[in-house]
Amino acid sequence: MESLVDQIRNCTLCRDRFRATATSHSPRPVVWIGPTAPILVAGQAPGLQVHKKGRPFDDRSGDRLRDWMGIGPKDFYDRQKVSVLPMAFCFPGYDTAGSDLPPPAICAETWHSQVMAALATPSVRLLVGGYAQTWHLGRKRPVRETVAHWRDFGDGVFPLPHPSWRNTGWLKKNPWFETELLPALRSRISNALETTDDPA
């Protein structure tokens, strides 16, 4: 795993692609993987703030995600407890209209299966957003539909909308997300963390 992480951190496959974006930035893979962590957060790609800071979900979306999970930064950033595996390790950049570009497919094609094979099977998987849900569930459906059928995907698998504040309206229109899905998610995460805190 250490060798694989080093390879990812030094990856420059998308250098020319990123230079051609409105942000004209250089690759900076944000890698946060614990090979035995019981919780896997499978997301989309780092945003600009995360690109600058070099730590996943170190932004307002991350604050909301941790609230959904019922944990604080101390547990979230403990690699023995949580791994973060985005569909692209680098910030994809903005287009000319200032919108987020999608994660380049070459990143997942190059690294995703290798990382999953090197990880111990997590007891809790959070599939954040459509790109992660498509890859991990093996089918493409609207995020809202996938999240609404969260009980269909097996014990410990939780499809989630992106925790962006842009989704606040959707969350208000779907109160079951807070009253049904989140309590189940928090319970599973609490149980998973007990195994890492158990001195036995």
Q: What is the pLDDT of residue 195?
A: 76
Q: Which domain holds residue 123?
A: 2-190
Tokens of 177: 């997300």
| 196 in any annotated domain | no
Q: Are the C-beta atoms of residues 184 and 160 closer than 8 Å to each other?
A: no
| 197 in any annotated domain | no
Tens-digit pLDDT profile for residues 86-136: 999 999 999 888 888 999 999 999 999 999 999 999 999 999 999 999 999
CATH number for position 100:
3.40.470.10
Q: What is the pLDDT of residue 188?
A: 97
CA angle centred on 74, ends 70 and 75, rounded to 5°: 55
| 36 in any annotated domain | yes
| 25 in any annotated domain | yes
- Dihedral pair phi/psi, residue 191, rounded to 5°: -65, -40
Domain count, the chain: 1
| 143 in any annotated domain | yes
Q: What is the pLDDT of residue 19?
A: 95
Tens of each residue's pLDDT in the chain, 200 residues? 899 999 999 999 999 999 999 999 999 999 999 999 999 999 999 999 999 999 999 999 999 999 999 999 999 999 999 999 999 999 999 988 888 899 999 999 999 999 999 999 999 999 999 999 999 999 899 999 999 999 999 889 999 999 998 899 999 999 999 999 999 999 999 999 997 765 44
HEC states along the chain? CHHHHHHHHCCCCCHHHHHCCCCCCCCCCCCECCCCCCEEEEECCCCHHHHHHCCCCCCHHHHHHHHHHCCCHHHHCCCCCEEEEECCCCCCCECCCCCECCCCHHHHHHHHHHHHHHCCCCCEEEEECHHHHHHHHCCCCCHHHHHHCHHHHCCCEEEECCCCHHHHHHHHHCCHHHHHHHHHHHHHHHHHHHHHHCCC
Q: Are the C-beta atoms of residues 37 and 79 closer than 8 Å to each other?
A: yes
N-terminal to C-terminal alpha carbon distance within the chain? 25
Per the DSSP assignment, residues forming a β-bridge with 84 are: 32, 41
pTM of the model: 0.94
Output the CA–CA distances (angstroms, integers) from residue 33 to 1, 79, 118, 174, in the order listed.
Answer: 9, 6, 10, 32
Dist. CA 50–CA 62, nearest whole Å: 10
| 195 in any annotated domain | no
| 106 in any annotated domain | yes
Dist. CA 35–CA 79, nearest whole Å: 8
| 198 in any annotated domain | no
